[in-house]
Amino acid sequence: MARRRPRWYFSFRSPYSWMAYRDLTDVHKDVADRVDWLPFWEPDEAAARELASDGVELPYVPMSREKHLYILQDVRRLARERGLSLVWPVDREPRWEVSHLAYLVAEELGAGREFVDHVYRARWELGEDISDPEVMARIGDRLGLDRQRLAGACDDPDVRARGMEALNSLYRDGVFGVPFFIDGYEKFWGVDRLPGFVAAVRSRPA
């Protein structure tokens, strides 16, 4: 069996995933170009029921107030270290499938990486609500993509089916958080493990 390509699981929700994205593309672009980019998100109720019926349980741990305050402090510190501007988003009615399923459409249209950049910027630098389909439509306009397809991805049965495949992939890979990097049998969890993943990928033939 052929060895799978190195890959990383990212989430637009996670500030640590945003940090990993910036490090990967700003500092380790050669590795970013050699790995598969796979989305991770919390499914909505309909998707969660379907996954449960197939025996798939994805790990979601409720966050305490203390952990939230720590992450807020920690992410601000990491952003300063990287010279990044940070606007902490307010998630009033989070629907993570809106942005992550739109990513699958953008990837199909050949603009996945560009879409990721715009969504991360919208959420973490501009404080926009990426659960709003209209935000996806505006990003589509900026990228010259079909705004209606991006805005409606979360309600498109074909895209939702691809989303289920993506969620099953992270289950099969044993992903329990983001950012999560895999090279062969080696797994690396967290932005601080990115250098180890980079070294592993660079050590294999291009």
Active site residues: 14
Distance of CA 183 to the CA centre of its chain: 18
Distance of alpha carbon 151 from alpha carbon 139, whole angstroms: 9
CA-CA-CA-CA dihedral for 49, 54, 57, 62, to nearest 10: 0
Residue whose tokens read 């601080």: 192
What does 78-123 look like in DSSP terms, one character per residue? HHHHHT--------SS--HHHHHHHHHHHHHTT-HHHHHHHHHIII
163 SS3 class: helix
